[in-house]
Structure 1
Amino acid sequence: MRIRAATADDWPAIWPFFHRIVAAGETYTYPRDLGEEEGREWWLLEPPGHTVVAVDDEETVLGSAKMNPNHLGPASHIAGAGFMVAPGHSGQGVGRALGEYALEWARREGYRAMQFNAVVETNTRAVALWRSLGFEIIGTLPEGFRHPEKGYVGLHIMYRRL
């Protein structure tokens, strides 16, 4: 697996799993009916943001991540990130590789910390992954997320100093 900068040419490979994950409504706070053009604008970031894809030897897109300043102005030294792994490739280390890449990118860019604003508490695999990479839950918004099957569940804020 290799991680490289995403280009507009990667979007047709990202969109199917991006759309599937967002439409499921289980892990992202994006509108479930988010359209393709708006999704592309939200995911394929311009600098100072950075979007990458994880690809295999055949250049099949296995997952993607976007990294960006989490806040503006005097809080712009805190990075944020979002991650999506194609469902057929989950459990193969793609999320971990993207997470490690994001942390290294943030360090290299001079950020002092990384914060995830909205990790759904029922997304236990993601919570466990981020904890294994040194993140801690610094707060939970009770009933902050309306899960399509589990109802109102907490939304974690996770943080890691760099």
Structure 2
Amino acid sequence: MTGDAVTIREIGPGEMDDTVWAMLEPVFRAGDTYAVDSGIPREAALAYWFAERVWVASLEGAPVGTFYIRENQKGGGAHLCNAGFVTDPAARGRGVARAMLDHALSEARALGFRGMVFNFVVATNTRAIDTWRRAGFEEVGRVPGAFRHPSEGFVDALILYRLL
């Protein structure tokens, strides 16, 4: 997919591991948006990210974002997907997150999913929440104090959903 100079392509495990890790590491180490141990080792982080299908986004040939799509649950919940997104801070405000989300929604439909759910969106991650809401995601739940933020203390986690 190409749009606004953002190019997105699917990658597999072992492909671009150093590049993906360079994007994941600062986000995971910051510990303020993902419910992942901030000390997660590189190999465990990559195994988590590459659990199913992964894409990388580039601007002018340089990788600036990555996302995954996976079943939200197995069995009776397998018709809904979950996704995770990371954008390089240097590329923020350039439409990368929105391009990745648009592509993820399209891919999820093509893969046969009926809806996309974000199970644990940290309430202080307002930039992401604004992006998801503009794309039609609705808040369907809120878990008070579910996330221990490194500087804000206990903050809520949102559950966002969109029918595909």
State the TM-score bracket (shorter-chain normalisation): over 0.9
2:11 aligned with 1:6: yes
1:41 paired with 2:47, answer: yes
Shift of 1:38: 0.5
Matches within 5 A, 1:20-35: 20-35=26-41
Instruction: State the 4+ residue runs in structure 1 displaced beyond 6 angstroms.
Output: none
**TM-align CA RMSD:** 0.9
Quote the offset at 1:90 in angstroms: 1.3
Give the Cα–Cα distance (whole angstroms) in 1 for the partners of residues 59 and 133 of structure 2.
26
Q: What is the DSSP-based 3-state SS (H/G/I as helix, E as strand, rest coil) of the residue aligned with 2:148?
A: strand
- Give yes or no for the alignment of 1:130 onto 2:132: yes
SS of residue matched to 1:37: helix
SS at match of 1:9: coil
Match of 2:53 in 1: 50
User: Residues 71 and 78 of structure 1 are in contact (CA less than 8 Å); yes or no, is this contact kept in structure 2?
Assistant: yes
Consecutive unaligned residues of structure 2, counting only runs of 5 or more, are 1-5
Could you say which residue in structure 1 is the equivalent of 2:3? none
After TM superposition, list the pairs within 5 Å mapping 1:61-100 onto structure 2. Answer: 61-100=63-102
Query: How far apart are the structure 2 equivalents of 1:12 and 1:21?
Result: 15
Aligned residues: 158
Superimposed CA distance per residue, residues 28-69 of structure 1 (whole angstroms, 9 cap, x where no aligned partner): 000000110001111123xxx3100001233x2100000010
Runs of 5+ consecutive residues of structure 1 not aligned to the other structure = none
TM-score (norm 2): 0.93
